[in-house]
Amino acid sequence: MRLFKLTQHSQGLKILMHTFRASAKELMLLVFFLVLGIVVFASLVYYAERIEVNPDNQFQSIPLGLWWAVVTMTTIGYGDMTPHTYLGRIIGSICALAGVLTIALPVPVIVSNFAMYYSHTQARSKMPKKRRGVLSVEQVVKQQQILPQQRRILLSGKNSYAHETTTPLLNHNSSNSPRMGMSASRM
């Protein structure tokens, strides 16, 4: 509980909390694919090591293979269990490569979220204190949840009421618009 109170005073911890909250879907997808890969590779290496009769076979069961797959996919590599057959070594190599790729894929999204919150915090710290409360990080989080839907509608080029493109309307300046009307009246 005190850790959560600590985040109120530390900007760095706030940024990390917001980053992990915004990247929750990507992190859950990472965990899902890691668990799936661990189960598949543990089963494969268990059956690959049973092909040859070996009294020193370290893969006596699939749960022991799960330990090996966790260590291999997360690239820790203790070395306490190693496959001895050629097929087992090939499966081990593929397991290590799959682990690196699985862990590396969501990293750009997490880094992008971190960069957004970090730059927002830096911009807020440079603002005068009276204006800092205008748009807090929490409001940016809410705005980011709404923006993808709006962005998808605008980028599709069609609205739901009339099947005309909305892109020309966004960039169109007419004399009825307030900006053009004011500039025309000043001339």
pLDDT in tens, 148-161: 655 555 455 554 44
User: pLDDT value at position 129?
Assistant: 75
Residue of higher predicted confidence among 184 and 146: 146
Q: Taking the mean position of all CA atoms in its chain, how far away is CA 22?
A: 8
Tokens coding 53: 């009769």
Tokens coding 85: 């057959």
pTM for this prediction? 0.65
User: pLDDT value at position 136?
Assistant: 65
Q: Using an 8 Å Cβ cutoff, are 59 and 65 in contact? A: yes
Closest CA relative to residue 72, chosen from 53, 51, 91, 50: 91
Structure confidence by residue, pLDDT tens digits, 59-110:
999 999 999 999 999 999 999 999 999 999 999 999 999 999 999 999 999 9
- For 58, 89, 109, 117, 132, the CA distances from 141, given in Å and listed in that order, are 49, 46, 15, 9, 16
Tokens coding 174: 């007419």
* Residue 14 in this model has a pLDDT that exceeds 60: yes
Average pLDDT for residues 168-187, to the nearest whole number? 44
In the block, tokens 């300046």 appear at 173
User: pLDDT value at position 113?
Assistant: 93
Share of the chain above pLDDT 90, in %: 51
Band of pLDDT at residue 170, cut at 50, 70 and 90 = very low
Tokens coding 79: 């070395």
Query: 180 CB contacts (<8 Å, ≥6 apart)?
Result: 173, 174
User: pLDDT value at position 163?
Assistant: 46
* Residue 20 in this model has a pLDDT that exceeds 80: yes
Average pLDDT for residues 11-33, to the nearest whole number? 92
